[in-house]
């Protein structure tokens, strides 16, 4: 009972002691009734009273020990409870501090992203405006070239008209003058005749070139402006999109800043987000980097082939009587054949054919 660590053992022994005392008391009374010697009975009674007194005192000591132990446990429990409460408050305060720091960090990142986004939008608007100015200059130069060609053509006609008239007069003289014109023609120096012939052929060829150039320019202005395709990130559309860009933009515009601007403008969704930041690079490096990113993500032959094959093999089932779906399937197969003919693919393996 002197050590608090033995509390459980003490309670077990106390319960056993009480049981033994009750057994002792029962046996004592039985023996006391059977005993006939008065002196023995007196001795038995004194011994029992002594044992009873000792047991009562022991119960009182145990009761006091129990109260002390309960108070101690209660105090310890109270201390433990207060300690736990303080620990919980500390953990909550630490968590709030951590959350506040994370919120402040996120706020800084948000402000930084907004700043970068604003800078990116400003650069995109600047590139778009530069594109408009460049297109206006190109259109102005084309019109200026056409005016020059038309002016040169008019000057050429003015210079060639007297020659034509001279040829007509010479022909008329030959027709009307007979042998006299023939003699005059024969008297002309041969070198002069050769020079006139070369000049006529040269003017004739030049006139044909000018007329052909004027015709091409006129057709170019009359034709509708080609419409560029957009690209949202599907490997199925990558080949035709990049061909369209190379034909309608890259071959006609030498400034890679404009090429990059057009490339970003006609990409949407995931594809556009992949190359947005390329405007921060140098013009030549940014355009090459943007094309390289699109090529690596969507233009690899294996990815394109797999996309077309999966579309054909894993599409919805088509009934034999569904004419529209069969026609659509045939069209998809034709598109697949046209695209995959540009590079080697695994379309011809036996499993796919089956």
Q: Render pLDDT for 238-269 as a digit per residue (tens, 0 to 9).
A: 888 999 998 888 888 888 888 899 999 999 99
Mean pLDDT within 1-8: 82
Give the C-alpha separation, 38 to 307, whole Å. Answer: 116
pLDDT of residue 128: 87
> What DSSP character marks residue 321?
T
CA distance 93 to 98: 9
* Rounded Cα–Cα distance for residues 327 and 329 (Å): 5
Give start and end residues of each alpha helix (H) in the chain: 7-34, 38-177, 179-187, 190-222, 235-245, 256-265, 269-275, 283-298, 301-313, 323-340, 350-353
Model confidence over 143-168: pLDDT tens digits?
776 566 555 555 555 554 444 444 44
> DSSP of 192-240, one letter per residue?
HHHHHHHHHHHHHHHHHHHHHHHHHHHHHHHSPPPPPP-B-S-HHHHHH
CA gap 261, 132 in Å, rounded: 11
Which band of pLDDT confidence, cut at 50, 70 and 90, is reported for residue 289? Answer: very high
| Residues near 24 by beta carbon (within 8 Å), at least 6 away in sequence | 51
Predicted TM-score (pTM) of this structure: 0.37
Ranges 58-62, 136-140, 218-222, 270-274: which has the least confidence: 218-222
Please check whether residue 315 is in contact with residue 304, taking contact to mean a CB–CB distance below 8 angstroms.
Answer: no
pLDDT of 57 over the 70 cut = yes
Residue 20's pLDDT band (cuts 50, 70, 90): very high
How many angstroms separate the CA atoms of 259 and 253, rounded?
A: 7
The CB-side HSE value for 100 (13 A sphere, CA atoms) comes to: 6
What is the phi/psi pair of residue 130, to 5°?
-60, -35
Provide, rounded to the nearest whole percent, the portion of the chain with pLDDT above 70.
Answer: 71
Kindly indicate the confidence band of residue 36, based on its pLDDT and cuts at 50, 70 and 90.
confident
Residue with tokens 């007196």: 42
Over residues 187-213, the pLDDT tens digits come to 444 454 545 455 555 555 555 566 666
Chain-wide mean pLDDT for the chain? 78
């Amino acid at each position: 009972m002197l050590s608090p660590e033995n509390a459980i053992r003490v309670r077990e022994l106390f319960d056993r002691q009480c049981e033994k005392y009750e057994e002792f008391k029962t046996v004592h009374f039985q023996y006391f009734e059977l005993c006939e010697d008065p002196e023995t009975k007196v001795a038995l009674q004194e011994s029992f009273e002594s044992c009873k007194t000792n047991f009562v005192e022991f119960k009182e000591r145990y009761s006091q020990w129990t109260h002390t132990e309960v108070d101690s446990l209660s105090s310890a429990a109270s201390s433990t409870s207060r300690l736990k409460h303080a620990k919980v408050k500390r953990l909550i305060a630490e968590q709030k501090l951590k959350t506040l720091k994370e919120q402040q960090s996120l706020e800084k990142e948000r402000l930084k992203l907004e700043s970068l986004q604003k800078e990116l939008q400003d650069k995109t608007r600047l590139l778009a405006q530069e594109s408009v100015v460049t297109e206006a200059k190109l259109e102005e130069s084309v019109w200026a070239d056409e005016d020059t060609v038309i002016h040169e053509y008019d000057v050429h006609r003015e210079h060639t008209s007297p020659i034509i008239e001279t040829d007509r007069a010479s022909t008329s003289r030959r027709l009307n003058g007979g042998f006299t014109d023939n003699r005059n023609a024969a008297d002309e120096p041969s070198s002069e005749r050769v020079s006139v012939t070369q000049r006529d052929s040269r003017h004739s060829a030049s006139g044909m070139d000018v007329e052909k150039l004027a015709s091409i320019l006129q057709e170019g202005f009359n034709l509708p402006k080609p419409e560029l395709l957009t690209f949202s990130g599907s490997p199925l559309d990558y080949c035709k999109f990049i061909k369209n860009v190379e034909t309608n933009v890259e071959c006609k515009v030498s400034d890679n800043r404009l090429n990059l601007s057009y490339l970003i403008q006609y990409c949407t969704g995931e594809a556009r987000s992949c190359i947005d930041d390329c405007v921060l690079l140098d013009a030549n490096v940014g355009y090459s980097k943007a094309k390289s990113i699109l090529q690596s993500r969507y233009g690899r032959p294996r990815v394109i082939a797999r996309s077309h094959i999966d579309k054909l093999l894993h599409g919805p089932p088509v009934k034999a009587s569904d004419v529209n779906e069969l026609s659509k399937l045939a069209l998809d197969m034709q598109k697949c054949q046209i695209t995959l003919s540009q590079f080697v693919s695994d379309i011809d393996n036996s499993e796919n054919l089956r």
